[in-house]
Amino acid sequence: MTEPESEAADRIVAARMRLRDRFLARMQGTPAAADKRPMGSGPKNRHGMPQVPPNQTPAGKDSWPVLDLGTQPDIRPEVWRLRVFGACRNPVILDWKAFNALEQFEDTSDFHCVTGWSKLDIPWRGVRFSTLAALAEPEDDAAFVLCHAFDGYTTNLPLEEALKDDVLLVHTANGAPLPREHGGPVRVITPQLWAWKGAKWIRRIEFLKADHPGFWEVRGYSNTAHPWRNDRYSH
């Protein structure tokens, strides 16, 4: 028998709260939450950090540079699938309808690219990563996640960063479907980290017990990627 929608929603909310309780201390200890002397300039952002990290320039209102690995997958929503698997009790595969049936969340946040520009105040709509994590129920010793994209790109996150409320799988930006060149139909955004930590054209989310560096991390980019510490590259 299929679980009633209301019961499924209640179960996801309860699982999300358990995850939050489990990772709350670690989340509060991350640099974007606990750094007492963050670098950067401009008014304070939503997390009490300077609006623009060091050595960054705000992009113009109509400017959103495009960076990728040289290919832009053309994935139509009707054929898009998201697999959530790995160290979790309830691996799932979501199609477009199932993904959009999950709790939708709207947020406005900033987008900081390590190449030197920041796009401020982007309105997004999508699904919180924490909702997907609650649906999949990570095992007790799961501590990291590896995101896989349709173009072969990968990037890694500790769960204390991934579970923050502003980490989203977005399908809408600026009130319109997310453009293909920016990762549509769905990409991950990580407003408190450099933008490369959010994979475009998201295809799979893998829960891990040990960290596994992604595409740019194995090529010398920072594994931690904290913008307000100018944390761009490995040392």
pLDDT digits (tens, 9 = 90+) for 61-97: 889 999 999 999 999 999 999 999 999 999 999 999 9
- Return the bridge partners of 189, or none: 168
- pLDDT, tens digit, 9 for 90 and up, residues 152-210: 999 999 999 999 999 999 999 999 999 999 999 999 999 999 999 999 999 999 999 99
197 neighbors 208 (Cβ within 8 angstroms) = no
> Which tokens go with 143?
């501590």
110 neighbors 45 (Cβ within 8 angstroms) = yes
Looking at the whole model, is its pTM more than 0.85? Answer: yes
Alpha helices, DSSP H, located in the chain: 5-28, 31-34, 96-101, 129-136, 159-162
Is residue 2 scored above 60 in pLDDT?
A: no
d(CA 138, CA 88): 4
d(CA 149, CA 128): 17
Is residue 4 scored above 80 in pLDDT?
A: no
pLDDT of residue 3: 64
Over the chain, what is the mean pLDDT? 95
d(CA 222, CA 116): 15
234 neighbors 223 (Cβ within 8 angstroms) = yes
Domains in the chain, ordered, with CATH?
5-229 (3.90.420.10)
140 neighbors 26 (Cβ within 8 angstroms) = no
Strand 81-86 relative to strand 202-208, pairing = parallel
> Which tokens go with 223?
């594994």
Distance spanning both ends of the chain, measured CA to CA: 54
Q: Percent of the chain, pLDDT > 70? A: 98
In sequence order, the 6+-apart residues with CB closer than 8 A to the CB of 22 are none
Say if residue 213 is exposed, middle or buried (CB neighbours under 10 Å; 0-12, 13-18, 19+).
middle
